[in-house]
Homo-oligomer: A and B are copies of this chain.
Amino acid sequence: MPLRFTILATDRSSSARVGLIGTPHGSFETPAFLPVATRGTVKGLAPDELRSAGTRILLANAFHLMLRPGAEGVERLGGLHRFMAWPGPILTDSGGYQIHSLADINSLDDEGVTFRSVVDGRLVHMSPERSIEVQNALGADIIMAFDDCAPYESGGAGDRLRRAHERTLRWLDRSRAAHRRPQDQALFGIVQGGTDLDLRRASVEGVCNAGLPGYAVGGVAVGEEPRLIDAVVRFTVPLLPADRPRYVMGVGYERDIVAAVRAGADMFDCVLPTRNGRNGHAFTQDGRLHLRNARFLADQRPIEADCRCSTCAGGFSRGYLRHLFSTGEMLGPILVSLHNICHFHRLMLDIRQAIREDSWSSLARRWPVLDAEHAGDRVQSTTDHAP
């Protein structure tokens, strides 16, 4: 099996666990946060900066890379690791979600999806076979089954969700059959079912039958209210096999991550740190700063006083960052994205420490941004740990 998952520590007060995932390109500890390198680059950041910020595994999108430069284009340049100059672990998303959220869909049936390329308008066909072919060519360490990710608006609308769930199961079988590199690429299945918990249970039963090296919860954080994200994650994650990595796709804010970890989740990806970073929104342990705001004009402080990221430790003041955003200078998005990624990696480090030390209340103290319930400080720890 191309992926080894070892549980290193478990929490006494929840289903949280610390794990180690070994891949052909190195290992990483879980719970882990994956920055998003949509088109084979985390916007504005070089691999060595990501590594210094704490990144150990990246997510890239099969959907975007198949359009430009094409999976075969990446293959000609030595595969995705060499293409991106990122020697560590990589996960590719299958394109199921992107097709429904981004593409101009021409037709969708059991065979697959045909959509118009946003790049040049040509018709592109995507199916479980084609998605896996693309992901085999890209060569990521973890690849995702091709799923039918029903839009959230269809949530209550009759049988669209059920059909998506059933199709996802059929497409999982075809994804497995199409996979040509099981020796060095771990295929994860994706559980669908929207906000319908019965469907979620049925999806878990169908998907987890496959005996795969890992499982993901898809179709969350696709527009539904936060309490629904939480409800679906808390219900679904514990149903997944405990001896395999559990990946909650596209989540999320700090409190969502902590809640999912306590439900037993191990992996997360989200565009929040980079998307918000590009808009001048900085994450801190006390909440977000909107650095374009005039109140930062003469603020000599770093984004966060005790942060060791290269933005905060590098001497860049809030006033200077505001100047970079007001003048449209690239360095603003770069520096704030880097801080934000570091913020999420620090959260994961603190979470792993909280699990190892059975000390969720110290996490809640270090992260006032997490509200009491989600930070888990209702769970009193006996081995409290000062920050």
- A residues sitting closer than 8 Å to B (CB atoms) are 39-41, 43-48, 68-69, 73, 76-78, 82-85, 297-298, 300, 310, 314-317, 319-320, 322-324, 326-327, 329-331, 333-335
Give the docked Cα–Cα distance between A322 and B74 (Å).
12
Whether the Cβ atoms of B331 and A44 lie closer than 8 Å is yes
Minimal beta-carbon separation of A133 from chain B (angstroms) = 19
Minimal beta-carbon separation of A263 from chain B (angstroms) = 35
Whether the Cβ atoms of A84 and B327 lie closer than 8 Å is no
Whether the Cβ atoms of B327 and A68 lie closer than 8 Å is yes
The residue on B at minimum CB distance from A72 is B298
Pick the residue among B44, B45, B85, B319 that contacts A320 (CB under 8 A).
Answer: B85
Minimal beta-carbon separation of A140 from chain B (angstroms) = 16
Whether A69 touches B297, Cβ cut-off 8 Å, given contacts A77-B320, A314-B47, is: yes
Of A43, A85, A297, A322, chain B has the most CB atoms within 10 Å of the CB of: A85
Whether the Cβ atoms of B83 and A334 lie closer than 8 Å is no
Whether the Cβ atoms of B77 and A298 lie closer than 8 Å is yes
Of A300, A317, A323, chain B has the most CB atoms within 10 Å of the CB of: A323
Secondary structure type dominating chain A contacts: loop
Whether the Cβ atoms of A68 and B323 lie closer than 8 Å is yes
The interface residues of chain B lying within 8 Å CB-to-CB of A77 are 298, 300, 317, 319-320
Whether the Cβ atoms of A41 and B85 lie closer than 8 Å is no
Minimal beta-carbon separation of A48 from chain B (angstroms) = 7
The interface residues of chain B lying within 8 Å CB-to-CB of A333 are 330
Whether the Cβ atoms of A319 and B76 lie closer than 8 Å is yes
The interface residues of chain B lying within 8 Å CB-to-CB of A331 are 41, 43-46
Whether the Cβ atoms of A43 and B85 lie closer than 8 Å is no
The interface residues of chain B lying within 8 Å CB-to-CB of A315 are 82, 85
The interface residues of chain B lying within 8 Å CB-to-CB of A39 are 323, 327, 329
Give the docked Cα–Cα distance between A37 and B164 (Å).
53
The residue on B at minimum CB distance from A40 is B323
Give the docked Cα–Cα distance between A326 and B41 (Å).
13
Whether the Cβ atoms of B43 and A330 lie closer than 8 Å is yes
Whether A41 touches B324, Cβ cut-off 8 Å, given contacts A46-B334, A76-B319, A83-B317, is: yes
Minimal beta-carbon separation of A96 from chain B (angstroms) = 21
Whether the Cβ atoms of A85 and B316 lie closer than 8 Å is yes
Give the docked Cα–Cα distance between A102 and B315 (Å).
31
Give the docked Cα–Cα distance between A310 and B310 (Å).
17
The interface residues of chain B lying within 8 Å CB-to-CB of A298 are 73, 76-77
Whether A320 touches B40, Cβ cut-off 8 Å, given contacts A78-B300, A310-B48, A334-B330, is: yes
The interface residues of chain B lying within 8 Å CB-to-CB of A316 are 85
Whether the Cβ atoms of B326 and A69 lie closer than 8 Å is yes
Whether the Cβ atoms of A297 and B73 lie closer than 8 Å is yes
Give the docked Cα–Cα distance between A315 and B88 (Å).
13
25 contacts between A and B (CB under 8 A): A39-B329, A41-B324, A43-B329, A43-B330, A43-B331, A44-B44, A45-B331, A46-B331, A46-B334, A47-B314, A48-B314, A73-B298, A73-B319, A76-B319, A77-B319, A77-B320, A78-B300, A78-B317, A82-B300, A82-B315, A82-B317, A330-B330, A330-B333, A330-B334, A334-B334
